[in-house]
Every structure is written in structure tokens, then in C-alpha cells.
Amino acid sequence: MAIEIRPITDKEEWLRWRREFVTASQVGGLPAFACHPYYTPLKIYAGMRGVEFDDGTDNPVLRRGRWLEPAVAKAVSELRPEWGLTAPNVFLCDPERGVGATPDYYVTGDARGRGVVQIKTVAYSVWKREWAEGEDIPLWVTLQTLLEMHLSDAAFGAVAVMLVDPHNMDVKILDVPRHAQAEAKLLAEAKRFVDDVRLGIEPDPDFARDGAVLKLLIPKEIPGSEIDLGSNNLLPNMLAVRAQLIAQMKRDEKRCKEIENRLKYLMGDAANAVGVDGWGISYRTQHRKGYTVQPSEPRVLLIRDKRPADERPQVDDEDEQEI
């Protein structure tokens, strides 16, 4: 299929292009893979249907990656002096399959031919837990690199990982070879998903992760409307479990407050407590800046437990929860 190469000259235009495609940075969130730490199928779907997310423009992790990317490239040039690195500043896309990518760097000077390099910055704890200290590459990163290799027709790919530690900065370069079978599956799954998006077929939510997406998809109710959920046999048990969990959390919170109040009493007017092995304890005055909360109109879910008293978990507060 014909791959389009679109030079990036305007950030807003680039962001609009990205919303039309499943991008390399999202592909691990497709239903067939479900391995992405940030993207779910519903979040990808919502973005392609025009929903805008506040977390998609800037956050501490994105800023860190953006600020450190030139440093990682400099490190790669020193570690692999035979490589020539170029930031292509292009958006590659396949409109028929609905996939796109913005490669970080192209590589020349390698005997294998032109390559692509994906830049990542990670904490040492993440490097140990998710990357097995270089013995493994997270699947979502591998899929991202595979799609970039396919769209750029690269001979090979690599992931350059900066280990973020102020006392021991290091960069590791991990190879990602071309894999025709994996790329074919990736493209097929992406096209299936994009076809569903174009038909308006919404993927099932991940209820543990998609709370913010659901709020954006259904921001307002129809005034006075009702829905009969009496045929849903799962709800009574789910609500009972929820009520039990909330009761337990209230008991736990009450116990925590009791412990904290006892500690405040024991400390009196002391700013710090010492002599408790394994614990650092302070009780100091803090100055907090004032702020004004902007008006908003969120939808609020209220759940009232109307069951007989002997069927409810025992809590001290009124059994009504606002979400």
C-alpha cells in the first residue's frame, strides 16, 4: 500500500493527523494486544472519534522525554559513532489501514541499511521491573518500533533507553529486528479496529481504567430520562460487594484517624519524633497557597442503599455515596 510522508510544519496540524489514525505510540492498546500502560481500546476509539484528552498534550513524563530526547540522541551518537542520526520530522501514514507514526530518528551508516531509533526515558525501577534490565523490551514498545519500521521501510529498528538517575545516567541500545509475521498481524488488527471506528462500533470499556474516558464520552444526561436495569442480574451482587467495600474502607479510615490522633497527642508541640526504628515522623505547620476553584458541571453518580437494615454492612455514616 502507498505510504504517505507528511512533513510536520505545524503542531496543531500534526495533532489532527494523529487523531485520524492508530499511531505507533498507541498500537499496543489495540484489543488483540492489550499491553499498553496508557491506552485502552476505548481511549483510542474515543480519540479517533474526536474526543480530546487533557493528558494527551503535556504531563511530567512527556516533558521528561521531550527534554531528554536530544541528550539520548547525543549518547547514541557516542555509543554508535558509525551511525548518522537524523530527526526526520515527518508523519508517516497508511490511510487504507489507518495507521501512522512519527519516528524519532532515522539511522544511516549501518551495514544493514537505514534504520529507525525509538527514544525512551525510564526510571531504574521501571528498567528492572518492565525491561528486565535490557533482557526484554515491553511489548507495547516493540509494537511501536515494528510499526515505525514498516511505515518507514527501515531495514532494522532500535530502542535507545536512557536510565534516569541523577547519580548514574546511562543509555542502553536494544535492537528490534524486522518480523514480517508480527507486522502482518499488527496491520491486520489495526485495520480491523479502524474499520470498526469508522462504522461507529465501540469497543467494550475497561472499567478499571476507562473512568475518565467514559466521563468524556457521556458528559451529560437527558433531563428526566430513566433506564430500567432490572434485567441485569449482575447488578444486585455488584452493588452489595461495593457497599461492603465502602463499609470496610470507612472502618479502615476511622482506625487510621485514631492512630494519627494518638500520635499527635504523643508528640504534643514537638516538630519531630525520633527513636522509632524504620519511621520518620514530623508534625509541622505548613503554609498552603490559596486558590480559586473554577465552576464546573460534572455528572455525579449517587447510590443509595435501600435494602433492609439487616442486609446492609454496618457503618456509622449515612449510606449514600457520591462519585
* Entry pTM: 0.81
The CA distance from 99 to 90, in Å, is: 14
4-216: which CATH topology?
A: Lambda Exonuclease; Chain A (3.90.320)
Q: Residues 40-89: pLDDT tens digits?
A: 999 999 999 999 886 545 677 777 778 889 899 999 999 999 999 999 99
First CA to last CA distance, the chain: 48
Least confident residue range of 110-119, 188-197, 289-298: 289-298
Average confidence score pLDDT of the chain = 90
Helix 180-199 to helix 139-152 angle (10° resolution) is 90
The CA distance from 26 to 23, in Å, is: 5
- Percentage, residues of the chain above pLDDT 70: 93
Q: Residues 103-152: pLDDT tens digits?
A: 999 999 999 999 999 999 999 999 999 999 999 999 999 999 999 999 99
102 CB-near residues (< 8 Å, 6+ apart): 8, 14, 18, 23, 24, 90, 91, 92
The CA distance from 224 to 136, in Å, is: 54
Q: Residues 200-252: pLDDT tens digits?
A: 999 999 999 999 999 999 888 999 999 999 999 999 999 999 999 999 999 99
pLDDT band at 303 (very low <50, low <70, confident <90, very high): low
| Backbone dihedral region for residue 275 (phi beyond 0: left; psi -120 to 50: alpha; all else: beta) | left
Q: Residues 151-160: pLDDT tens digits?
A: 999 999 999 9
Q: What is the pLDDT of residue 166?
A: 78
